[in-house]
Amino acid sequence: MASRPSGTSPLSRRALMRNAAAAGISIVGLDLLAACGGSSGSNVTFSTNELPAASNPAQVKIYQNYVQAFEQNHKGVHINALADAYNTQTYFTKAAARSQEDLVDAPFTDPQLMIARGTVADISSQAKQQSFFNSYTQSALAIASSGGKVFGLPYAGYQLGLMFNISLIKAAGLDPNTPPKTWDDFRAYAKQIASKTGVPGYVELTNQNTGGWHLTNWIYTGGGDLESGSGSSAKAVFSNDVAVAWLKNLQAMKFQDHSVFNDVLVGYNDALQIFGTGKAAMVVEASDTLPALQTAYQADMKNIGLWPMPQSPSNPGNATLSGGHVYVFKAGDSSDVLSAAVDWASYYRFDLTVIENSTVQAAASGLPVGFPTATIFTGSYQEQLLGISKKYANLPVDNYTLYANSGLSLRPEPPVQTQAMYGALDSVVQAVLGSGSAEPQAELNKAQQAFQATLSSGG
């Protein structure tokens, strides 16, 4: 299971809560909900980085209401919430000065690096007391575990798929219920869309580590690997036939078919804007970007569908990259602070009544509810989560059936220096999309050599 590169803004259940406007639905009984966890009984203050941005006052208000309710029922506990969205570069710099927040909402890419660098606390004893803990799948637990110890609480997961604009697909004479199964199908679809509608069939992400992130995903669909080994003996192996084959395919789509969006530098938010405003027909994304597409770009949810990732025709990996979010806790904090922070996480992210209450608010505010997510839980807890989602769903969930039921295996991201690897691969994707004569093999070799030096130096 894995996550987006740092610095991007995936929205999952957090988006449901964050984006819900105060639409006349008062948050009743929050104090009752907050009492579920019980008071820790000691005076502690902890900081967290998950306060919504000030540019969305409705979200801030909702979040603060939850904080207030929690504090009222946990006497002596004070939460200092900061609007400081996670960024790999700033996190490790702050951690070097021991000034990172006590509770950090981070992507799946970084907990293993945090564990290796000793910046996160062992919360095994606190975590195992939580009612939902035993509902984790093994792969989810592995995200933030090491040596039998638990260092984090994953709370949201997603998988990458092929998001498409239904009206453009239909205008090109294609069937929204017939997804491209292979790279060749995908290339043909993009070409047909571009020639029939004049709109680029596909937009590829290339900048701010997203190029490497997507290239990793495409390599997975071809059964390829990017790293072997682990820790200080890890080796970069992404300069392989699968990567070359995909990059040649992408390059041909751009320079022969003219079916790829023209810009070479496309970041995460750029791609959302391009797709959300109908300037490209397909983009690789996860379902939890749907709220952002609606709120930021007023995209019509009925006009967006999701297909499973096309696979390599010659060596299908039957896989897709998956992502998610995880709470981690600051190393060196006292057990009182850790207990209070874990209690808050348990209340805010995992309490079913809180989740349902938030979902009700989001649905009442017209926000997208009911999009499929990657499973990180199992058993009755997972069933109850699904039940809440289905009960209040206001999305055309039929548009995502093929994506949700793809049967593709969910591959986690390479574990060692993931963000640095993505950064190295960005230039490969940019080179291939910037010039029809760029040699994918040569570009991959350069990037692999540079990244291997990073791995070998243990940086």
Partner 1 sequence: MVTLKHPALAQPETRTTSWARPLARFMQRNGAGLLFLTPAILVFAFFVWYPMVYGFVLSFQKNAFYGTPSFVGFQNYLFVLHDFNFWTAWRNSALYALYGLLIGYLIPIVLAVVINEVRRGQGYFRLAFYLPVIVPPIVTVFLWRYLYEHDGGLINSLLSLVHIGPQPWLQSPGTALPSLVIVTTWANMGGTVLIYLAALQGIPAQLYEAAEIDGSTVWQRIRHITLPQMRGIMLILLLIQLIATVQIFTEPYTLTNGGPDHATLTVMLMIYQYAFASGNFGAASALGVILFLVLVVLSLGYFGITRRFNRGVE
Report d(CA 13, CA 370) in Å as an integer. 10
Assess 251 for contact with partner 1 (CB under 8 A): no
Assess 450 for contact with partner 1 (CB under 8 A): yes
Each residue 113-142 as x (binds partner 1 by CB under 8 A) or -, in order, gives: ----xxx-----------------------
Closer to partner 1 by Cβ: residue 28 or 97: 97
Of the candidate spans 178-186, 214-222, 353-361, 447-455, the one that interacts with partner 1 by CB under 8 A turns out to be 447-455
Assess 265 for contact with partner 1 (CB under 8 A): yes
Closer to partner 1 by Cβ: residue 80 or 233: 233
Assess 248 for contact with partner 1 (CB under 8 A): no
CA angle 160, 196, 405 (to 5 degrees): 25
For the segment 335-394, give every residue that binds partner 1 (CB under 8 A): none
The least CB distance from residue 340 to partner 1, in Å, is 25
Closer to partner 1 by Cβ: residue 86 or 158: 86
Residue of 84, 419, 444, 448 interacting with partner 1 (CB under 8 A): 419
Phi, psi values for residue 223, rounded to 5°: 75, 15
Assess 263 for contact with partner 1 (CB under 8 A): yes
Closer to partner 1 by Cβ: residue 237 or 265: 265
Report d(CA 288, CA 282) in Å as an integer. 16
Assess 92 for contact with partner 1 (CB under 8 A): yes
The least CB distance from residue 92 to partner 1, in Å, is 6
Of the candidate spans 104-112, 231-239, 391-399, 434-442, the one that interacts with partner 1 by CB under 8 A turns out to be 434-442
CA angle 136, 142, 145 (to 5 degrees): 105
Nearest to 264 by CA among 438, 92, 65: 438
Assess 8 for contact with partner 1 (CB under 8 A): no
Closer to partner 1 by Cβ: residue 92 or 381: 92
Residue of 72, 124, 303, 454 interacting with partner 1 (CB under 8 A): 454
Closer to partner 1 by Cβ: residue 399 or 419: 419
What's the token pair of residue 376? Answer: 């990180």
Closer to partner 1 by Cβ: residue 52 or 423: 423
Q: With the C-alpha atoms ordered 316, 317, 319, 322, is the resulting torsion angle positive or negative? A: negative
For the segment 268-287, give every residue that binds partner 1 (CB under 8 A): 279
CA angle 89, 93, 95 (to 5 degrees): 120
Assess 99 for contact with partner 1 (CB under 8 A): no
Assess 233 for contact with partner 1 (CB under 8 A): no
Residue of 43, 45, 80, 89 interacting with partner 1 (CB under 8 A): 89
Q: Are 329 and 119 in contact (CB under 8 A)?
A: no
Residue of 146, 167, 435, 441 interacting with partner 1 (CB under 8 A): 435
Number of residues binding to partner 1, judged by CB under 8 A:
40
- Residue 439, C-beta contacts closer than 8 angstroms, at least 6 positions apart: none
Assess 453 for contact with partner 1 (CB under 8 A): yes
Each residue 193-232 as x (binds partner 1 by CB under 8 A) or -, in order, gives: -------------xxx------------------------
3-state SS string over 331-356? CCCCHHHHHHHHHHHHHHHHCHHHHH
Assess 95 for contact with partner 1 (CB under 8 A): yes
The least CB distance from residue 171 to partner 1, in Å, is 19
Closer to partner 1 by Cβ: residue 209 or 295: 209
Residue ranges binding partner 1 (CB under 8 A): 88-90, 92-93, 95-97, 117-119, 206-208, 262-265, 279, 417, 419-420, 423, 426-427, 430-431, 433-435, 438, 443, 446, 449-450, 453-454, 457-459
